[in-house]
Amino acid sequence: MRVSVEAYGCTLNQGESRFMQELLEGAGHEVVEPDDAETSLVVTCCVIESTERRMLKRIAELKEKDKRVLIGGCMASIMKEKVSAVDPDAVFISPRNLEKVLDEVGEGDGKSPGEPADRVLPENSIDAIVPIGQGCTERCSYCVTRLARGALKSRPEEDITASVSRRLAEGFKEIRLTAQDTAAYGRDNDSSLPDLLNRITSLDGEFRIRIGMANITNLKPVLAETIRAFDSDKVYKFLHLPVQSGDDDLLRSMRRRYSVKDFIDICEDFRSKFPNPSISTDIITGFPGETQEQFQASLDLMKEVRPDSINVTRFSAREGTEAFNMDKKVPGWESKERSRELTRLRLGMSLEKKESLVGSAFRVMTTERLKPGTSMARTDSYRPVVLPGDLPLGSFYDVKIVSATDACLKAELA
Ligand code: SF4
């Protein structure tokens, strides 16, 4: 069968779509461009309303072109009616049963049913996404993802380590461990994120591990061990720690079970252990009831902590969530203005931080091909560095930073 695969949203969605693509290729199906496909697999995201609309529009387009549409990702769990209204023949592949994609497309040549194909290194990158679990322990009042992904389900350490070994054997050098909340890993199977990291970093070879988004509530109890596990050269000194607001009352209304001080303390602990780590966070603007003072508190927190990157999201009322029914909605124009102000701050701070690194020396690993004659590399803190030349991926270089933009550093080989 000729099948197209497209994925939207978080790294976990990307990882699941790659896994289903491998299953299909392993069974002998051909993965092609959407226009050439008989069947189209769409791994959907519906975290905010605008994305949901974009997904439904894409499904309608494929339907229009007489494609048989398979729906994966979060909409497959919680938006079947809305999808079926657009395409009554759409088939749903639950994120908890990815193997079902073969039932729907067919066992193919039967040579290796259900066995994912060995991954051929893509030409332009050497990163492999390895999901470590899905679902989570929290009940954030605005979050539709937890409705789609359900309770925490961590993969066994052995399975994850076997997946990582397999990827390393295939030549991948950057392993992206992902979940809704990586810090919750193992709470349901007597393991933990630091245990898992220690097991993976004991694997032979020179590679790098990037840890996906972690919730402060679940990171706090394992922080000391996690920082010790991060001390391995194989772990990027990169922490993605969504704080969402700089005001404790608003965090309570979001049902985020930590305080602003917890966020500050974790960032300080991380920075006191590692020289110049990279910290990324998320802020929601316009959450119901958010006053100008509370928004100012978020701005002030960003100015105090100065994270390397801030993902700014405007509040989007999602059906089925507690926040959907909250009153005191912030007017759209005001929420938009707040996210613009935060984005201006983010860009300014990002440029300032990167400019402060001009003249510094780093050891970097090449991870991606950019336009001909340039390569992307990452420092040990996962900072993006553009290098001249079509350099072999997965190689290490000593470089000197010569300039910076708000998006990346530029360097020359030392
Ligand atoms: S931690 Fe909160 S925001 Fe993240 S997936 Fe769970 S409920 Fe949603």
Domain check: are 145 and 287 in the same one? yes
Kindly report the CATH number assigned to the domain that includes residue 39: 3.40.50.2300
Residue ending a domain, choose from 55, 75, 105:
105
- Residues 179 and 303 both lie in one domain: yes
pLDDT tens for 76-121 read 999 999 999 999 999 999 999 999 999 999 877 655 545 555 555 6
The last residue of one of the domains, among 355, 373, 402, is 355
* Residues 216-242, mean pLDDT to the nearest whole number: 98
- Residue 281 sits in the same domain as residue 404: no
Residue 338: CATH number of its domain: 3.80.30.20
Task: Give helix 292-305 / helix 332-355 axis angle, nearest 10°.
Answer: 10
* C-alpha 86 – ligand 1 centre gap (Å): 28
- Calpha distance 189→282 (Å, rounded): 28
Query: Is residue 318 one of the residues assigned to a domain?
Result: yes
Mark whether 257 and 387 lie in a shared domain: no
Averaged pLDDT score across all residues of the chain: 94
Q: Are residues 345 and 389 both part of a single domain?
A: no
Q: What is residue 246's DSSP assignment?
A: S
| 3-state SS, residue 238 | strand
Q: How many domains does the chain have?
A: 3
Lowest mean pLDDT among 117-121, 240-244, 311-315, 358-362: 117-121
Q: Mean pLDDT across the stretch 154-168?
A: 96
Rounded to the nearest angstrom, the distance between the alpha carbon of 138 and the centre of ligand 1 is 6
Instruction: Examine residue 114 and state whether it is found in any structural domain, yes or no.
Output: no
**How far, in Å, from the CA of 37 to the mean position of ligand 1?**
35
Dump pLDDT digits (tens) for 280-296: 999 999 999 999 999 99
Q: Are residues 58 and 145 in the same domain?
A: no
**231, 284: one domain:** yes
- For residue 118, being part of any structural domain is answered with no
Q: Are residues 279 and 131 part of one domain?
A: yes
CATH of the domain at 394: 2.40.50.140
- Ligand 1 centroid, distance to 256 Cα (angstroms): 9
Closest by alpha carbon to 326, among 288, 380, 280, 290? 288
Taking the centre of ligand 1 as the mean of its atom positions, its distance from the CA of residue 141, in whole angstroms, is: 9
Mutate to test the pocket of ligand 1, among 138, 144, 188 (most ligand atoms within 8 A of CB): 138
Q: Are residues 272 and 404 in the same domain?
A: no
Q: 123: pLDDT confidence band, cut at 50, 70 and 90? A: confident
Ligand 1 center from residue 408 Cα (angstroms): 29
Give the three-class secondary structure for 349.
helix
Atom of ligand 1 nearest to the CA of 136: 6
Report yes or no on 121 lying in a domain: no
Pairwise CA distance, residues 300 & 298, whole Å: 5
**Residues 300 and 229 occupy one common structural domain:** yes
**Residue 65: pLDDT band by 50, 70, 90 thresholds?**
very high
| Tens-digit pLDDT profile for residues 321-371 | 999 999 999 999 999 999 999 999 999 999 999 999 999 999 999 999 989
Q: Ligand 1: which of 47, 215, 244, 258 to mutate, most ligand atoms within 8 Å of CB?
A: 215
Q: Is the pLDDT of residue 5 over 80?
A: yes
The pocket around ligand 1, CB under 6 angstroms, is made up of 136, 138, 140, 143, 145-146, 180-181, 215
DSSP per residue, 359-407? T-EEEEEEEEE-STTEEEEE-TT--EEEEES-PPTT-EEEEEEEEE-SS
Contact 135, 149 (CB under 8 A): yes
How many Å lie between the centroid of ligand 1 and the Cα of residue 142?
9
Q: Which atom of ligand 1 is nearest to the CA of 149?
A: 5
- Residues 338 and 313 grouped into a single domain: yes
Tell which one of 143, 187, 251, 315 to mutate to probe ligand 1, the residue whose CB is within 8 A of the most ligand atoms.
143
Edge to edge, the sheet with strand 309-314 lists 238-240, 278-285, 309-314
Instruction: Tell whether 289 is covered by a domain.
Output: yes
- Average pLDDT (228-235) is 98
Asked if the structure places residue 9 within a domain, the reply is yes
Q: How confident is the model at residue 269 (pLDDT cuts 50, 70, 90)?
A: very high
Report pLDDT digits (tens) over 171-209.
999 999 999 999 999 999 999 999 999 999 999 999 999
- What are the beta bridge partners of residue 125? 368
308 CB-contact burial (10 Å; exposed 0-12 / middle 13-18 / buried 19+): buried
Range of the domain at 404: 361-413
Mean pLDDT of 37-62: 96
Contact 245, 286 (CB under 8 A): no
CA distances from 414 to 207, 388, 400 (A): 21, 12, 6
The verdict on residue 111 lying in a domain is no
Centre of ligand 1 to C-alpha 223, Å, is 19
Structure tokens at 204: 């032979």
Task: Please indicate, yes or no, whether residues 266 and 369 belong to a single structural domain of this protein.
Answer: no
**Domain final residue pick, 355, 383, 404:** 355
Q: Which atom of ligand 1 approaches the CA of 137 most closely?
A: 6
User: What is the model's pLDDT at position 113?
Assistant: 47
Residue 120, in any domain of the structure: no
CA of 134 to the centre of ligand 1 (A): 11
Average pLDDT over residues 366-391: 95
Q: What is the pLDDT of residue 107?
A: 74
Q: What is the mean pLDDT of residues 314-325?
A: 96
- Nearest ligand 1 atom to the CA of 215 is 1
Residue 298 near residue 245, CB atoms below 8 Å: yes
Per-residue confidence band for 125, with pLDDT thresholds at 50, 70 and 90: confident
- Can you tell me the mean pLDDT for 307-311? 97
